[in-house]
Amino acid sequence: MRKVLAFIVCFACFGAAANDMQSEGSWFFKTKVNKMTDTTDMVASNATKDVYTRQGSERYTSLVLRCKENETDAYISVYDYLGSGEPRITVRFDDGKPVKHTWNSSEGGSAAFSPNAISFIKELAKHKKVIIGFEPYGSTMQAVEFDLSGTDKVAAKIAESCNWKL
Reported as a single tens digit per residue, the pLDDT across 82-129 is 987 899 999 999 999 999 999 999 998 899 999 999 999 999 999 999
Sheet-wide strand order for 27-33: 22-24, 27-33, 40-47, 62-68, 71-77, 111-113, 104-105
Q: How confident is the model at residue 64 (pLDDT cuts 50, 70, 90)?
A: very high
Number of domains present in the structure of the chain: 1
What residues contact residue 147 under an 8 Å CB cut-off, 6+ apart? 25, 26, 46, 49, 128, 129
- Domain assignment of residue 33, given as a range: 2-162
pLDDT score of 56 more than 80: no
Q: In the prediction, which pLDDT does 15 show?
A: 54
- 155 or 6: which carries more pLDDT confidence? 155
Residue 35 sits in a domain of what CATH number?
2.60.40.1880
- Whole-model pTM: value is 0.87
pLDDT at 52: 82
Residue pair 74/65 in contact (Cβ under 8 Å)? The answer is: yes
Cβ neighbors of 71 (< 8 A, separation 6 or more) are 162
CA atoms within 13 A on the CB side of 96: 17
